[in-house]
Amino acid sequence: MSHIFSANEQVNAPVHTVWAYLTEPNKLAKWMPSIENVHTANGEHTSPENPLMYRTGKKELFSPVVDYVPLVLIAYKSTRGSFSATYTYQIDADGDQTSVSLSAACEATGLMRLLQPLLKSAIAKADGNQLKMLKAVVERDLAT
């Protein structure tokens, strides 16, 4: 795996609340504006047995959960052709605050290896602010 970017954010919300925004499709859609029609097979939160399904652009995609420790860590893998990116979210509770970290990494095979630097740059630009968006949405929702 090749590192794309890392980010950290302190969210003024308890760990259970932040976890819900990382695993419940209706809450994920609030802070990931580039995806739409977010759901899972059984309509419940994501888990290794219940991958995330969504639409981006005109494509229907799914992201299996490739690493999972409830209330601590969840990793989604997104694959398009011979390029895949894994987004690993880790959370740590500290009273009414929760530290969230995101690490994105990728794998490319075949001709996609030549495009990997360009794809990594595009992903970092598009997704590097995810945790800032997560923080804003969680804190806004808690305030209302």
pLDDT tens digits for range 41-51? 888 899 999 99
Helix axes 15-23, 130-143, angle to 10 degrees: 120
In the chain, where the domains are located: 2-137
In this prediction, residue 124 carries a pLDDT of 95
Is domain 2-137 in CATH 3.30.530.20, yes or no? yes
Intervals of the chain under pLDDT 50: none
In this prediction, residue 58 carries a pLDDT of 83
φ/ψ (deg, to 5) at 27: -85, -35
In this prediction, residue 57 carries a pLDDT of 79
- Nearest by Cα to 33 from 122, 104, 140, 137: 137
> How far apart, in whole angstroms, are the C-alpha atoms of residue 119 and residue 42?
32
Give whole-number Cα distances, 73 to 15, 67, 80, 100, 110, in Å.
Answer: 11, 7, 23, 10, 31
pTM summary value? 0.94
99 DSSP β-pair partners = 10, 92
In this prediction, residue 41 carries a pLDDT of 85
Question: In this structure, what token pair is assigned to residue 90?
Answer: 């880790």
